[in-house]
Every structure is written in C-alpha cells, then in structure tokens.
Structure 1
C-alpha cells in the first residue's frame, strides 16, 4: 500500500477495510475473481485478463504523461 501512513497509530480497522477494498478493485480490474477466504483466481485460459491488463497499463501511461 503506497498510502500507508508514517504513524502506525493511524492504521485503524476502518483504514484496513478501505485499503482491502481498493486492492480488491484493482485485482478485479485486471480480471481476477474472488474465490473464498481472501483467495483470488485468474483464469489464464481467457484472453480477457491480458486485455484488461493492457487497458490498465494504457491508463497508467496516460496518467503519467499528464504529470510530466
């Protein structure tokens, strides 16, 4: 988590829940599916994960270019 606070006292249960939601959204955005008990699966036989990953990389490049 790139947003982890310097002061560990700020890391509350609510903070952890919010971070887990962000991480889950990222995994889903590249094709992973929740399985159970925090396990995520990716069906490598599908072409969709590759296409989703390429789309996320393109978004990252666009965002990066806007800060230069």
Structure 2
C-alpha cells in the first residue's frame, strides 16, 4: 500500500463507495452535493453537469435542475454585464439609460458577432 491509499480519507471513501452503497452517503460528508457545494464557482466553470449520474443520488433530478438553472442565470448575467448592465441583486441587472457606454458596448458586441459570422462562413464555404 502506498502512502496515499493508506490515508483515513481514502479508506473512508473506499468503505463508502466500493464496499458499500453510494446511496447510503446521502446527507453525509461524502454526499456529492455537499462536496460540490464547497467548490468555488470559478473552479466549477468547466464542470460538465450533464455527465453526472444524477439519478444515482436521492433528489438528484431536482439537484441537477437547480444546478442547470444557476448555471444559465450566471451565463445570462455575464451577457447583460458585457453590454453595460450592472448586477443589482438576486439575478436582477439594472441599466442607467442615460449612459452612452451601453450603446458603445452593444456596438462592440455586434462587431464581435459579425466577425465570428464572417470567420464561420469563410470556414464553411464550399
């Protein structure tokens, strides 16, 4: 046995998931929901939610739906911020309509979009 597999944490995971039923871990320190909740949002940005076997966890379907909703709300918030909206609270963004900055940012995003369209068309033309 090497040093990493003789550790207490490793032994606990081995007993829980290899020797036992993963469903018995619901609500405990090895519950995937508790583990994931402790990970910083930035670290989870590349996490593929659709690849998690949610049906193996109690209430997994509702947990997946909540995670997908939070992910979508976060992405939408980033879009609003890119065109000048400021985060307010609870997913609400506000805009000062008297600012020229918003039109400038929107024009920049349109130009980025047009450039991406041109690049895509150049790659996909016969």
Structure 1 length normalisation: TM-score? 0.76
Equivalenced residue count is 59
- Return the structure number with greater relative CO, CA threshold 8 A, min gap 6: 1
Could you tell me which runs of 5 or more consecutive residues in structure 2 were left unpaired when the two chains were aligned: 1-60, 122-126
Q: Alignment partner of 1:26: what SS?
A: helix
Higher helix proportion (structure 1 or 2): 2
**Residue pair 2:87, 2:93 contacting (<8 A) in 1 also:** yes
- Kindly name which structure, 1 or 2, has the bigger radius of gyration based on alpha carbons: 2
Runs of 4+ in structure 1 deviating by more than 3 angstroms, as ranges, are none
Higher strand proportion (structure 1 or 2): 1
Tell me the distance in 2 between the aligned counterparts of 1:35 and 1:15: 21
Could you tell me which runs of 5 or more consecutive residues in structure 1 were left unpaired when the two chains were aligned: 1-8
